[in-house]
Amino acid sequence: MTTAKCATTGKATEACKTDAKDLVPLVAESKTDAAAVVTAEAAVKAHSGSSVGIIIGCVAGALVVVGGVAYWKHKKNAEKSADTMEGSFSADDCYKSFVDEERV
């Protein structure tokens, strides 16, 4: 380890020596953190494409399921409206009341 010297006076003072002793573990910790960052960046580069594929697959799957449910619901409503005399207004609660009052 080199002798710590004050930046302004150029002499080794007690405060500079104390600061230098405090910095030694921080420098070692910094090197460890830098190595961890390099490892993490390598892992991200190695697997970044797969996470994008997973997200696209999940969105596509959700759209297929929602589209299937919407088609099924549309098909059921079309069958129901073809079977009833009221037509497409079979789901409207107020339709009968208004039509009955108009005909009276």
**Which residues, including other chains, have CB under 8 Å from residue 90's CB and lie 6 or more apart?**
80, 81, 84
pLDDT on residue 13: 75
Q: Which residues of the chain are modeled with pLDDT < 70?
A: 1-10, 48-49, 82-104
3-state secondary structure of 76: helix
pTM over 0.85: no
